[in-house]
Amino acid sequence: MVAIFGIFYFLLFLPMQRQKKQTAQMLQNLKKGDIVVTSGGLVGEVVVVVKEDDTLVIKVKPDNVKLQVTRTAVASLQKPETPST
């Protein structure tokens, strides 16, 4: 029984804890200019990081519409676009 619990811990719980820690660190380190994807699927560039209430203002293309979202709405961070030559 102890061996089964140990297997579950190393295969399920430990990777989930690592992923939560990485996500929390990514959300904490967001800065102006980062390209983010929200949980709703919007892709935008961070324009303003508001520290007081944990929100971000992101600029969404093509019309440069600015949206205010919470940090927890950010699902992932994208690599910046590199201009092709």
Does 85 score more than 70 pLDDT? no
Q: Rounded CA gap, 49 and 40, in Å?
A: 19
Q: What is the pLDDT of residues 41-73, one digit of tens each?
A: 999 999 999 888 889 999 999 999 999 999 999
In a domain, 85, yes or no: no
Domain tally, the chain = 1
In a domain, 67, yes or no: yes
CATH of the domain at 46: 2.30.30
pLDDT at position 80 is 66
In a domain, 53, yes or no: yes
Structure tokens at 38: 């929200």
Do the strands 35-38 and 43-50 form a parallel or antiparallel pair, or are they unpaired?
antiparallel
In a domain, 69, yes or no: yes
pLDDT at position 6 is 87
Range(s) of the domain holding residue 33 = 2-78
Phi-psi region of 27 (alpha: psi -120 to 50; beta: other; left: phi over 0): alpha
- Indicate the pTM of the whole model: 0.74
